[in-house]
Structure 1
Amino acid sequence: MQKTMETVALWTGRLAHLALWAAGTGLVLMTALIAAQVFWRHVLNDSIVWTEPASVMIMGWFIFLGAAVGIREGYHLSFDVVLYVLPHGAKMVLFSLSDIAVAGFGCGMIWFGWQLAAKTAGNMLPSLGISGAYDFAPIVAGGLLIALFSAERVFRRAAGLPTARFGDDAEAA
């Protein structure tokens, strides 16, 4: 199982790297669109109507992609004070429970994000000319990555591999 999880970790690491680059690119693109809108509005006394909704949509992508990568790398919000005094086995159980709960949250994002997308698929975003379902695509994609990365962390821990989180490694025993 350890060899399989090392291969899975390699591929999910590449996926996380790609997601992080996409999130960073989205952040830069959103910043450029907002800067262009400010320039057009205040210098040229005109307005680009599609920059605000496009920026909000891009922001959804970089938030959810970045959050998923943060979960994979162990940077999500946690309360670790108790973990300093617990034995290694208890830490591993709590880490796994946390990752399972986060995976469940990711599955909820997929389910409810998909429902929202389905309900708004017939609406058109007037300034962009695309379906309203695209507003909820980042929730579904982020949920998929969150569920995948959380499940990977549980399986890596079960295989005795480190998961890049404080105190969560096989050597700490």
Structure 2
Amino acid sequence: MQTFERLFLAVNRWALILLLAAMSVIIFTNVVLRYTTHESIEWAEEVSRHMMIWLTFLGAGPVLRYGGHIAVENLQDALPRKAAIALRIVVALLLFAFFGFMVWYGWLYMQRTMFQLTAVTQIPFAYIYSAMPIGGVLLVVHFLLIVKGYVLDRQFASDDHFDATASASL
């Protein structure tokens, strides 16, 4: 299971790195061209916007895994241990329900937009909207890998790249 988790996280991270790098190159190149030649790449803004959507949905899982999303924890801090665990179970169930909602409605959006084309690149909007159900599935997998530690001890994952508890105390 640890091998799967390491591989899963590595693939997710590399997808994010490559998307961000490609988006940065496209935007930088477009800005340079605009200022040096007064011409721009006509598809640059559209493609970079779509890449940003994909970055958002693919990046939500690792951020959840490391406890990087905004959370209000005052109530569970004030509760006795058993009540806090019960509250975190409710939160975990609500999160799983929301992720399922994301997958389901993302799939519906994909079906509805398969024949609508983007303005410049003329690709189906379904390819952009597919970020939502794929991101939802990734959120489920990331959360499944940490949910036990979260529910029992409010622990999130940490590694050499990121430790949410260390950065929260700064």
TM-score under structure 1 length normalisation: 0.78
2:71 is matched with which residue: 51, 55, 78? 78
CA distance in 2, matches of 1:104, 1:112: 12
% same residue: 25
Moved more, 11-20 or 109-118: 11-20
Structure 1 counterpart SS, 2:28: helix
Runs of 5+ consecutive residues of structure 2 not aligned to the other structure: 158-163, 166-170
Q: What is the root-mean-square deviation of aligned Cα atoms in Å?
A: 2.6
Q: Which has the higher contact order (CA 8 A, sep 6+)?
A: 1
CA distance in 2, matches of 1:31, 1:148: 28
Instruction: Indicate the residue corresponding to 2:56 in structure 1.
Output: 63
CA distance in 2, matches of 1:34, 1:62: 15
The question of 1:119 aligning with 2:92 is answered no
Letter of the aligned partner of 1:79 in structure 2?
V
Q: Determine if contact 2:92/2:151 at 8 Å carries over to the other structure.
A: no
CA distance in 2, matches of 1:96, 1:78: 15
Letter of the aligned partner of 1:33 in structure 2?
I
CA distance in 2, matches of 1:10, 1:156: 18
CA distance in 2, matches of 1:16, 1:126: 34
Letter of the aligned partner of 1:148 in structure 2?
V
Instruction: Indicate the residue corresponding to 1:141 in structure 2.
Output: 134
2:100 is matched with which residue: 95, 103, 107? 107
CA offsets per residue over residues 5-52 of structure 1, 9 Å max, x none?
Answer: xx2x55234313321221132122212111111112221111211111
Structure 1 counterpart SS, 2:56: helix
Instruction: Indicate the residue corresponding to 1:95 in structure 2.
Output: 88
Instruction: Indicate the residue corresponding to 1:30 in structure 2.
Output: 23
Q: CA shift at 1:163, angstroms?
A: 4.2
TM-score under structure 2 length normalisation: 0.79
CA distance in 2, matches of 1:49, 1:11: 41
Instruction: Indicate the residue corresponding to 1:171 in structure 2.
Output: none
Report the count of equivalent residues.
159
